[in-house]
Amino acid sequence: MANHAATKKDVRQSAKRNERNRYYSKTTRNAIRDIRALEDKKTASDKLPEVSSMIDKLARRGTIHKNKAANLKRKLALKVNGLKK
């Protein structure tokens, strides 16, 4: 266990960031799952910018890699554009 005050603080901060990153990651994964399950193009098109924004925020925070974010957004866009009306 850490003995220095600064190290103890770093452990606390790290735990807080870890929990926050897990929350945002899980929320985004659920949103991606929900948009993939949609069959209506209009609804999916309306939700796509919101989910893309969530993915971008994860990449900006460093929770996921920027290339993974780009791949996720591309796949979602292809899925939404391929839906029937």
Looking at residue 13, which CATH number applies to its domain?
A: 1.20.58.110
- The whole-model pTM stands at 0.86
Query: Rounded to whole angstroms, how far apart are CA atoms 42 and 23?
Result: 28
DSSP 8-45: HHHHHHHHHHHHHHHHHHHHHHHHHHHHHH---HHHHH
Domains: count for the chain: 1
pLDDT for residue 2: 74
> How much is the mean pLDDT over the chain?
95
Side chain identity at 56, as an amino acid letter? Answer: D
**What are the pLDDT digits (tens) for 31-41?**
999 999 999 99
Side chain identity at 74, as an amino acid letter? Answer: R
Range of the domain at 59: 5-81
Residues 14, 19, 17, 73, CA torsion sign: positive
